[in-house]
Amino acid sequence: MKNAIRISCNRHNLKVVRDFVSTYLAAYSLSDLHLNQIILAVDEVVANLIIHANHEDESQFLNVRVGVEKQVFEIEIEDDSNSSYQPSLYKEPDLQEHIRTGKKGGVGMALVNRIMDRVEFTTTGTHNVCRLYKHIA
Amino acid sequence: MKIAQQTTENTLTLSLDGELDASSSVLLDTELTKPEVLDYKKVLIDCQRLNYISSAGLGVFISHLQRFQDAGVKLVFFNMQEKVHNVFEILGLDALMTIVPSEAEATAI
């Protein structure tokens, strides 16, 4: 089964990545709810990388690899943008404040952090890797 | 994402069909931003065919909620699939927005 894809930084490719993860995980008989959560977490990270880190520059690419080992789903997303995500700057969103001010963004990483068991971001030079892990037994 | 509209004198119903992500949410935002939306007393969102929502889709509703409230417009979701409702729950948005099981209940609000 195909376990890696490369996509250009166009937000239309979000659906491509969601379908790729869904197809890969079809063999693991997850509930609709559980599968949707994992797809959502991946979608949020990929959307951030396409839109915020790479500014939807279609000459830039993301490499996405998935795997399951010892009942843990792992996904690795690589890019080469100059702006890397800083997990230490993460703040839990105040939703009532978002509503009051009409803020559109800023809740994606909250979803990722609440859904996945482990979230890692590493940067070497301009090479960024995000790894997400989720127990799927 | 397809958005079908149905109107009565006081109610605008938007039926969402497809996946609401960072790409398609722009279309929904355009619909909700139209000034005439505030002429209705209620905006009902039929989620029966909404198969997926990401933070970008949630963000569209979050960003319009106060504007609707200030104008006296109620925003009500109905027919929501469990996996979509779960995304609202993860963030606690189910407690901040009006989500009811059926169109009859949405209409009765």
**Which of B19, B22, B91 is the closest to A107 by Cβ?**
B91
How buried is residue A107: exposed, middle or buried, by Cβ count under 10 Å (0-12/13-18/19+)? buried
Identify the H or E element spanning B6.
strand B2-7
Task: Report the number of distinct structural domains present in chain A.
Answer: 1
Under a CB-based contact definition with an 8 Å cutoff, are residues A122 and A104 in contact? no
What confidence score (pLDDT) does residue B35 get?
Answer: 96
| pLDDT confidence tier of residue A129, bands split at 50, 70 and 90 | very high
> Domain holding A32: CATH number?
3.30.565.10
The band of A109, judged by pLDDT with boundaries at 50, 70 and 90, is very high
Burial of B54 (0-12, 13-18, 19+ CB in 10 A): buried
Tell me: pLDDT of A56 over 90.
yes
Chain A neighbors of B96, CB-CB under 8 A: 95-96, 99
CA angle B38/B44/B48 to nearest 5° reads: 150
Q: What is the per-residue pLDDT for A127?
A: 93
| A105 at B interface, C-beta within 8 A | yes
Structure tokens at A79: 């890019």
The pTM (predicted TM-score) of the whole model is 0.94
pLDDT score for A1: 55
Q: Give CATH superfamily name and number for B2-108.
A: STAS domain (3.30.750.24)
Note down the domain range covering A62.
4-135
A16 in B contact zone (CB under 8 Å): no
Q: What is the mean pLDDT of residues B77-106?
A: 97
Q: Are A95 and B62 an interchain contact pair (Cβ–Cβ within 8 Å)?
A: yes
pLDDT at A90: 85
Helix, strand or coil, per DSSP, at residue A28: helix
- What residue spans define the domains of chain B? 2-108
Report residue A106 as tokens.
Answer: 């800023």
Distance of CA A43 to the CA centre of its chain: 5
Question: For residue B53, is pLDDT > 80?
Answer: yes
Contacts of B58 in chain A (CB under 8 A): 107
- ipTM higher than threshold 0.95: no
Q: Cα–Cα distance between A7 and A96 in angstroms, integer?
A: 36
pLDDT tens sequence across A78-106: 999 887 777 778 889 999 999 999 999 98
